[in-house]
Amino acid sequence: MTRPIELWYWPTPNGWKVSIALEEMGLPYEMKPVNIGAGEQFDPAFQAISPNGRMPAIVDPDGPDGQPLSIFESGAILQYLGVKSGQFYPQDPRGKAEVDQWLFWQVGGLGPMAGQTHHFRQYAPAIVKDQRQLAYGVNRYTNETHRLYGVLNRRLADRDFLAGDYSIADMAAWPWILPELQGQSLDEFPHLKAWMARVGERPAVQRGRALGDDLRRNLAASGKAAEDARKVLFGQRAR
């Protein structure tokens, strides 16, 4: 009997990448919530799995050698799950390279830049006192996110998915397109908009995206709980 994969998770774009993949691949899994607003990412038990103290992470009790295997970093997790399931990750070198380059583009570009856009637009106004400094960050990262939307729009002008067939590259990029939070309008990017709808119609994507919706705390809200969570997330204190 296949034992479920442990998914150490919180409902964020990086978390959704892996929950979507697990749903798409039909792999049994068990969610282990990691409340990043409460500092649970600093727990030694979690950091033994994810040394960087970031989620998501997985533990596969049935690793390649039959022994448990833990993996952190969402891109590495997606590659592992694609190999394990034999789905959404080509085996031929050309197809694999096509998927890898767009997966790495998301991990190294879209995710970090859009994440900074979230920070400066959603959270920094409650932290940064110098409004000139805040405006620079907002403009810098909003503009770079706009450029990256354009990269996706051009790529999708003549194809349905990022790298041939639907793949882990699409699963990686899709959760990070959050135009309202990122100061963007998808009307400027019709091919990206169509892809967002195309991927979003998939039942497994909808299930993965909805995982843990009841757990999420609105860190942009006011109040002591939100302030404490921001302090944890943005390095003002560690648990």
Condensed to tens digits (0 to 9), the pLDDT of residues 210-223 reads 999 988 754 445 45
- CATH of range 5-87+215-233; options 3.40.50.2300, 3.30.420.10, 3.30.2290.10, 3.40.30.10: 3.40.30.10
In the DSSP assignment, the letter for residue 213 is: G
Number of Cβ within a 10 Å radius of residue 239: 9
Model pLDDT for residues 126-151, shown as the tens digit of each residue: 787 778 778 999 999 999 999 999 99
- Angle of CA points 58, 226, 128, to nearest 5°: 105
Strand intervals (E) in the chain: 5-9, 29-33, 57-60, 69-72
> Start-end ranges of CATH 3.40.30.10 in the chain?
5-87+215-233
CB 217 within 8 Å of CB 226? yes
Residues 6 or more apart from 210 whose CB is under 8 A from it?
none
The C-alpha atoms of residue 179 and residue 168 are separated, in whole angstroms, by: 21
Which CATH code fits 93-201?
A: 1.20.1050.10
Instruction: Find the helix packing angle between 13-25 and 74-85, rounded to 10°.
Output: 0
The C-alpha atoms of residue 38 and residue 56 are separated, in whole angstroms, by: 16
The C-alpha atoms of residue 82 and residue 100 are separated, in whole angstroms, by: 11
Q: What is the pLDDT along the chain (239 residues), one digit of tens a residue?
A: 679 999 999 999 999 999 999 999 999 999 999 999 889 999 999 999 999 999 999 999 999 999 999 999 999 999 999 999 999 999 999 999 999 999 999 999 999 999 999 899 988 887 877 787 789 999 999 999 999 999 999 999 999 999 999 999 999 999 999 999 999 999 999 999 999 999 999 999 999 999 999 887 544 454 545 556 556 565 644 44
Buried b (16+ CB within 10 A) or exposed e, 188-215: ebebbbebbebbeebebbeebbebbeee
CB 111 within 8 Å of CB 55? no
> Start-end ranges of CATH 1.20.1050.10 in the chain?
93-201
Residue recorded with tokens 């002591």: 224
What is the value of pTM for the model shown? 0.90
